[in-house]
Amino acid sequence: MDADTNKIKKIIERALADGRLSQQEDEDIKAAIRSDRKITQEAMKLYRELQQKIFEGEILIDD
């Protein structure tokens, strides 16, 4: 895992520490993924895992 992917993973972990995802946290995660203008497969895999947790109800979305 490269440094950028590791950074994204840490941002996701901090955002999900309370079991909820705010719109701002989601935007921060997406901004980190796009930060170097090169979206990697690893970064997208992390985001898909996040989406799956939301779909399965493990993570709640704040309004």
| Per-residue confidence (pLDDT) for residue 26, from 0 to 100 | 93
**What does the block give as tokens for 10?**
């840490």
What's the pTM?
A: 0.83
| Per-residue confidence (pLDDT) for residue 50, from 0 to 100 | 94
Give the C-alpha distances (Å, rounded to integers) separating 13 from 4, 10, 49, 60.
Answer: 14, 5, 12, 14
Q: Is the pLDDT of residue 2 over 90?
A: no
Residues 14-51: pLDDT tens digits?
989 999 999 999 999 999 998 878 888 999 999 999 99
Task: State the Cα torsion 4-58-28-8 to the nearest 10°.
Answer: -10
Span 2-17, average pLDDT: 88
Describe the crossing of helices 41-55 and 23-34 by its angle, rounded to 10 degrees.
160
